[in-house]
Amino acid sequence: MKDLFSELETHEALADGAILMHGFALADEAAILHAIEQVVEAAPFRHMNTPGGFRMSVAMTNCGAFGWVTDRHGYRYSPVDPQSGDPWPQMPPILQALAERAAQEAGYRDFSPDACLINRYEPSTKMSLHQDKDEQDFNNPIVSVSLGLPASFQFGGLKRTDPVRKYALHHGDVVVWGGPSRLFYHGILALKQGQHPLVGSLRLNLTFRKAV
């Protein structure tokens, strides 16, 4: 029988439509990390440039039918890797299943992502407050999986000036947000030095989206 008290302890509501599920991805951590290695072998991490010409400190790659890219032409989704001209690697089944299972657990039953952005954080790198708004349909949630070093997750509101709360994200944690909180500002504070037994001195973040 499912332990309801245990579930309450590991599921933390962040806002209306947003939930943090501690350790949700731990059961499949080895398979998830192996799948990431396969993606990176086909589409290596790279530092993209913002439309303003600034080099992003976080290294990125993608898998799925679409990949999120940024350059002087703007932020957008592309079916091909601009670095190679080839389609992005297919989303490994283990990653697709993880995203769909997490979304269902959070109450979003029809989520089927077609894009997975993989971010690699090194110590001192960060992600400034931003909204995920390059997708065509905001009715779909965002599913974010944390692996490796712990990070401080910022979660605000619909305006950049809204109060921001901070949550500690650890290896295996999954955050899902949608509905009323779908366009909430969020970010990651500068990553602290550390060593994770499986990931090393890095944090990996998988962000699943329905792009088109």
- Cβ neighbour number for residue 41 with a 10 Å cutoff: 9
41 closest CA partner among 20, 24, 63: 63
Query: pLDDT tier at 134 (50, 70, 90 boundaries)?
Result: very high
Q: Is 204 annotated as a binding residue?
A: yes
Q: Is 203 annotated as a binding residue?
A: yes
Q: Is 14 annotated as a binding residue?
A: no
Q: Is 137 annotated as a binding residue?
A: no
At the topology level, CATH places domain 13-183+198-209 in: Jelly Rolls (2.60.120)
Given a cut of 50, whether residue 59 has pLDDT beyond it is yes
- Give the helix, strand, coil percentages of the chain, each rounded to 5: 20, 35, 45
Q: Is 170 annotated as a binding residue?
A: no
Q: Is 209 annotated as a binding residue?
A: yes
Query: pLDDT tier at 4 (50, 70, 90 boundaries)?
Result: very low
Q: Is 76 annotated as a binding residue?
A: yes
129 closest CA partner among 162, 168, 106: 162
